[in-house]
Structure 1
Amino acid sequence: MEGRVGRTALLVAAARAIETHRPDSLARDIYAEHFVLAAPASADWPVRIQQVPDGDANPLWGRFARYFGLRTRVLDDFLLRSAHEGGVRQVVLLGAGLDTRAFRLDWPPGCVIFEIDREGVLAFKHQVLDGLPAAPNAARVPIAVDLRADWAASLTDAGFDTAAPSVWLAEGLLFYLSSAAETHLIDTVDRLSTGGSALAFEVKLDKDLLEYRDSPLYTSTHHQIGIDLLSLFNREKRPDSAGALVGKGWTTAVHTPFDFSRRHGRGPLPERNDALAGNRWVFANKRRRTRP
């Protein structure tokens, strides 16, 4: 888990741990705190809001962590709906990081969870989970490959069936990719997806990310745990991936996180100088071809 991108995975794990222990939790991940405590870079980070002196008033461990908790819940619901109601049995987690959905969600029989990430990230995850009483609730296929490499071949070699519907998740991933890499990833997902497939991903619509460089979320993350998110995010003009999918036969719905804060009655709401203002969660479904 060396490197700043690896530390962001630990940040999300810490946020999920904090969310897990809230009395009004939106999502539960009992494994998250074990990742945080096992990594030297994060061993002294909080895993409960009670460990934060200013509690929810803390921009990082309060509002930002709650954002990650909300995102986890919304994407959990999307994946489970695709599996239980849509009948999808292939789930692909792109840039899976320390995601434990294979272990903590109630998957229907026959589901296969493909987890794609770099070898070092998956090795750390396995090291921690192997020391716990953790058993997946579905067939789990980790695929150690960099998303800048030919991950599609690695996925199909691992048993992914392009003729069967699939549900894809790119959670907190596209921020870090170049515009060309994002376009290639979306095109690849489309190419590998048959009708009835679904996709969820997160994008930023800010014209200039530096507009919010002094926002409490960015400054507190940098000052408290040494992660300068703006130095990690790719600042190229972003492609219209949602629009591109519509042109390829998908239907899309684009939401702000605040839509779901209001729906669930908790989570971040808009504020001044808000680093979350440009965040959008995109949900897409590929239409089935009708026979002539």
Structure 2
Amino acid sequence: MSDSDLAAGVSSTALMVAAARAIETHHPHSLLRDEYAEHFVRSANSPVALPTRIEDVSLGDADPFWGHLGRFFAVRARTFDDFLVDSAPHTPQIVILGAGLDTRALRLDLPPSVTCYEIDRHDVLTFKSKVLGSLGALSPVPHHLLPADLADDWPSALLSAGFNPSVPTTWIAEGLLLYLPAPVETSLIDTLNTLSAPGSRVGLETLPGQDSLRDHTLFDTSTAETGSHLGGLFDPDPRPDTPAALGAAGWTLTTSPVDTFTRRYGRGPDPSIPGPILQSRFTFGEKDA
């Protein structure tokens, strides 16, 4: 695999979000720390120079992409981080779907009894392992990187790695569903439900109306900034109502707009700037007994 493969297709979003986490890590008002993010950015042979600090961006926090959108990635990551840390003592297993280049198994304070499984494309996880290996980075909890296509038989890889569907699991689908074809999203959620014992928890992100947001002006600069047109990577299909599907399957869920979490943490995208960011919804909940 060439490191430059990370700049192709959806994988470029993993690198973009890593750059945003690196910026946030070094920001004076940071919501999180990810000491590995900068190493991913610097190790990838991206055709576009990606920033790792807000000082690398000419407009700084006022930049519509790395400032405004970057703060969205920051508050999203912090929100899902906190959900995972809160859930982990109650669920012996964690499964991160479309894990990208995040390193929650290494950087979060998780109980040693937890086993973490990450599922993503082979090229992303190979690059991730290569960089972490060069740093001598080790997870303090059992940690499995499982290369699998979420449109194919990913449960076989999960079960072969030791996943036990009879015990509670915390599932994370952050920055994932909006890139999947609608039938794949529906199948993935059905499978997630089937593999979830009572007491399992889920955190997921949805973007209602994403098919109409693909050409929003916010994304006009994304090709120059990252090498890919971010909105063009969104799947154009009308979206399934995934929270409703899980609710019908016996999950108790709460769905909130991103501004809820901006207010909670005191940092995030400017709510006075209209656009697709404010349409994002975070859903968290638990499977009933």
Is the TM value for this pair above 0.5?
Answer: yes
Distance 2:35 2:273 in 1: 33
Verify the 8 A CA contact 2:7 2:47 in the aligned structure 1. Answer: no
2:87 aligns with: 82
Give the match's secondary structure for 2:162: coil
Structure 1 residue 195 corresponds to structure 2 residue 175: no
2:3 aligns with: none
1:264 aligns with: 265
Aligned length in residues: 284
Identity of aligned residues (%): 45
Pairwise CA distance, 1:259: 0.5
Q: Deviations over 1:142-198 (max 9, x none)?
A: 111111110111111110001100000011110111111111011000000010000
Kindly provide the amino acid, as one letter, of the partner of residue 162 in structure 1: P
Pairwise CA distance, 1:225: 2.5
Distance 1:225 1:162 in 2: 38
Distance 1:201 1:209 in 2: 21
Q: Where in structure 1 are there 5+ consecutive unaligned residues?
A: none
Distance 1:42 1:250 in 2: 43
Pairwise CA distance, 1:257: 0.8
2:281 aligns with: 280
Pairwise CA distance, 1:222: 2.6
Structure 1 residue 144 corresponds to structure 2 residue 147: yes
2:18 aligns with: 13
1:213 aligns with: 215
Distance 1:269 1:53 in 2: 19
2:133 aligns with: 130
Query: What is the TM-score normalised by the length of structure 2?
Result: 0.94
Consecutive aligned runs of 4 or more in structure 1 exceeding 3 Å deviation: none
Query: What is the TM-score normalised by the length of structure 1?
Result: 0.93
Kindly provide the amino acid, as one letter, of the partner of residue 46 in structure 2: A
Map residues 50-89 of structure 1 onto 2, 5 A cutoff.
50-84=55-89, 87-89=90-92
Structure 1 residue 185 corresponds to structure 2 residue 188: yes
Pairwise CA distance, 1:226: 2.8
Distance 1:53 1:115 in 2: 35
Q: Deviations over 1:20-78 (max 9, x none)?
A: 00122101100000000111116721100011111011111111111111111000000
Verify the 8 A CA contact 1:4 1:227 in the aligned structure 2. Answer: yes
Give the match's secondary structure for 1:242: helix
Verify the 8 A CA contact 1:202 1:281 in the aligned structure 2. Answer: yes
Larger CA deviation: 34-43 vs 115-124: 34-43
Q: Where in structure 2 are there 5+ consecutive unaligned residues?
A: 1-5
Q: 1:108 to 1:207 in 2, by over 3 A?
A: closer
Distance 1:25 1:207 in 2: 28
Distance 1:142 1:182 in 2: 21
Pairwise CA distance, 1:206: 1.6
Q: Deviations over 1:67-99 (max 9, x none)?
A: 111111000000110013xx2110001011111
Pairwise CA distance, 1:214: 3.7
2:9 aligns with: 4
2:41 aligns with: 36
Distance 1:60 1:16 in 2: 13
Distance 2:180 2:161 in 1: 24
Q: Deviations over 1:112-158 (max 9, x none)?
A: 00011111111100111111131102100111111111011111111
